[in-house]
Amino acid sequence: MSETVIREVAKGIWTFSRPFSRFGVIPFGGRSTAIQLNNGGVWVLASTPLDTETKSKLEELGPVKYIVGADAVHHMFLGQYKEAYPGAKLVAPEAALERLDDKSLQFDGAWGRDPPNTVYGFEDDVKHCYFSGFKNKDIAFFHPTSKSLIEADLLLNLPATEQYSKSKSSGKSFYNLNPISWLHPRIVWLLGDDKAAMRRDVKTVSGWDFTRIIPCHGDVIENDGKKAWEEVYKFYLD
């Protein structure tokens, strides 16, 4: 039986959640997110395997037009998606290129390589902010229609209850990193290699009108997402 949990979290936004352990030990959970664009195409943050169930749902939603990598380390499955959807544009941070096993995989756009304010084609539906000062070179995405922030390693909301709901493991750990954890703000402070750039980009995201956060790791925050974001990034907002 598949361990992937497929759910429409808001109109036109689908999540694909499944177990994933960091270093094979810490239960972080993994999640891909698909958005139906106004032009009929589909935008996918690809962070989990393209299994049969995921592929079936994506094909039901519409033609995949964009495959997105959320940061330098969420690159493992980009090749799977590009092979399945060769006509889709592949956009990810330049730092992900360096980590790819398949060096033949071509990016149609790359944050950190492309000039600032480059337009990739999905901006009418999904806004983006590249965190050049963050260790993992993450990108935050904003879907204004549903007031949803979508991100990978910028904010965690553990335990990963939904992502382990079809697994034999509970997904629980000895310590759960989430927005109310005293440790989370300190970790993102340490992961900020360029504090000035971090302050700039944190404030950009704080200016977006979102209520929901869809993280790659941990449960979706359905309400008060802005409050959670500002708690985690309070040291950059002071």
Domains of the chain: 5-237 (3.60.15.10)
Predicted pLDDT at 25: 67
Under 8 Å between Cβ of 67 and 78: yes
Q: What is the pLDDT of residue 27?
A: 87
- C-alpha 138/C-alpha 199 separation (Å) is 14
Block means of pLDDT (10 residues each) for the chain, 238 residues, are 94 96 80 97 98 97 98 95 98 93 90 96 98 98 98 96 89 81 97 98 98 98 98 97
List, in order, residues 6 or more apart from 196 with CB less than 8 Å away. Answer: 133
| Per-residue model confidence (pLDDT) at position 102 | 81
The per-residue pLDDT for 23 is 63
CA atoms within 13 A on the CB side of 227: 5
Quick one: tokens of 48? 């989990």
Q: Are the CB atoms for 96 and 72 separated by under 8 Å?
A: yes
